[in-house]
Amino acid sequence: MTDNSKYLVEMRGIVKRFPTVVALDNVDFKVRKGEIHALLGENGAGKTTLMRILYGMYKPDAGEIIVEGRRASIGSPGDALKMGIGMVHQHFMLVDKLTVLENVALFVEEGFRISFNGIRSRMEELSKTYGLKIDLDAKIWQLSAGEQQKVEILKTLYRNVKLLILDEPTSVLTPIESEELFKSLRRMVETGKSIILITHRLNEALTASDSITILRKGKVVAAEVKPREASRLDLVNMIVGRPLEFKPRINNARKGGKPVLEVERLRVLDDRGLVAVKDVSFVMKEGEILGVAGVAGNGQRELVEALTGLRRVEKGTVKIMGMDVTNSPPKKIIRLGVAHIPEDRFRYGVAPDLSVAENMIMKLYGEKFSRGIFMDAEAIQRETEKLVQEFEIVAPSVNAPVSLLSGGNIQKLIVARELSINPKILVASNPTSGLDVASTNYVHWIFHRLREAGGSVLLVSEDLEEVLALSNRILVMKEGKIVREFGGGVSISEVGLAMTAGAA
């Protein structure tokens, strides 16, 4: 045990084959004690798969894992946790109807008796140590995504892990929440723990990590890169292997463009029956990208669902192309040329057990992909293959169930499908969440192209950089109201202030 001891975990020569792809091809990956290690790579590069192997969820076809200098056989998450390795998944695994405390108890108690008092005091201590504040008696469904993530992290910390794996933790967080998360992670590292952080946001890797490993198509292209010695451009080159083509730039909306979406005094309730959208009015014009900024949970979701026919409108009107569509069924709104990239891709975006092709045709199955009452199998195959190619979706085959795709590739499928209907209006919630830099860039280019062709985009995003880079105008939403409107060319800090500080 010479210089090995400075590594907490070493994965050597890891190979993982799935029926149609080699997801990992001879990967070496090392994490030191007490560091935040960023794992980067394109969608489908194999990041999640590599981490699932380390966490004992998949069995590698070849290779070995060394934990603290000793060869380890990790056959299950239980084994991994015993060795001090914990993982927080892209999709949370919590029981909705139980409280935070009960969820933790489920995860940590092995016998028949549960000592809630013991768990409570330990949890309070942990949340103080790491600055992860949470109401232990709240039910999971009442919590925001950011809060649920804290629960997941605390749950694994409770098991005394030495290594915490986080799979795209910031894709569900607001910028402020992300900052808080990184502060907590720093504290963990100071107490000697190690963190593996998967992310598509290069700035996070550059500012918050100590070391970076990059995967491309199942192979390591760069290991233990020091963030101090690398620039954003270097990272892009290593991840994608080529420079990005599109530089987003704002051009002003055509003057006198016709209004395509008119919202007047709209009132919408949330799931609990509370008023989430409070008498909101705005107009979106032909050929403009209208950004909606705001901290998550300020009524954006309810607004979007009301506009697309998924949620009842209590009061007020929605007009699309001059036609009143208040409380119209989704089908009618789709027929008017409204596409929708939903915020939660698993809730609305896909039916995971259905195939890539079946998910791809969901919006136009009744028109483009059928003849009379029959489905047109040939057209379905052809169109799906075309879109898979155009959007570079990595999938075992177009007939494979969507649940086998990587998170980013599912997002790409949704974006591809929504753009394939040639929308006049695109309502997009966090459209690039989980997408790699190249795909994000491609989607931005497509939004731009759509605008040039006279289409309009309602861009609802927590990613302020994205909103600012693309939008002609920006509305700021807070507590269910539109509190500010900005033109193009405004600074991030100005918008950020309006989001948090309140009404102008």
Ligand X SMILES: Nc1ncnc2c1ncn2[C@@H]1O[C@H](COP(=O)(O)OP(=O)(O)OP(=O)(O)O)[C@@H](O)[C@H]1O
Q: Going by C-beta distance under 8 Å and a sequence separation of 6 or more, which residues neighbour residue 121?
A: none
H/E run at residue 198 = strand 194-198
Reading phi first (left if > 0) and then psi (alpha if -120 to 50, else beta), residue 321 is in: left
Q: How many residues does the chain have?
A: 504
CA 461 vs. chain centroid, Å, equals 11
In the complex, minimum distance from the CB of residue 243 to ligand X, in angstroms, rounded to a whole number: 20
Give 242-295 as a DSSP string.
S---------PPPTTPPEEEEEEEEEEE-TTS-EEEEEEEEEEETT-EEEEE--
397 binds other proteins per the rule CB under 8 A:
no
Smallest gap, in angstroms, from Cβ of residue 48 to Mg ion? 3
49 touches ligand X (CB under 6 A): yes
Determine how many CB atoms are found less than 10 A away from the CB of residue 274.
Answer: 9
Amino acid at 189: V
Residue of 156, 300, 308, 411 that binds other proteins (CB under 8 A)? 308
Q: DSSP labels for 139-153?
A: BGGGS-HHHHHHHHH
Residue 97 binding other proteins, by CB under 8 A: no
Instruction: Give the distance from CA 113 to its chain's centroid.
Output: 37
Minimum distance of other proteins from residue 429's CB (angstroms) = 12
Which one of the spans 2-10, 249-257, 273-281, 340-348 is the region binding other proteins (CB under 8 A)? 340-348
- Alpha-helical segments (H) within 71-172: 77-82, 100-108, 116-130, 145-158
Q: Which CB, 169 or 349, lies closer to other proteins?
A: 349
Asked if 160 is part of the footprint of other proteins (rule: CB under 8 A), the reply reads no
10 to 49, contacts with other proteins by CB under 8 A?
18-19
Nearest-CB residue to ligand X? 408
> Does position 349 bind ligand X by CB under 6 A?
no
Asked if 293 and 464 touch (Cβ cutoff 8 Å), the reply is yes
Site string for other proteins, 51-90 (x = CB under 8 A): ------xxx-------------x-xx--------------
Binding other proteins (rule: CB under 8 A), the pick from 111, 242, 256, 374 is 374
Minimum CB distance to Mg ion, residue 434 (Å): 8
Shortest distance in whole angstroms from residue 197 CB to ligand X: 13
Binder of ligand X out of 36, 37, 40, 41 (CB under 6 A): 41
Residues that bind other proteins (CB under 8 A): 18-19, 57-59, 73, 75-76, 308, 310, 329-331, 334-335, 340, 342, 347-354, 358, 362-363, 365-366, 370, 373-375, 377, 404
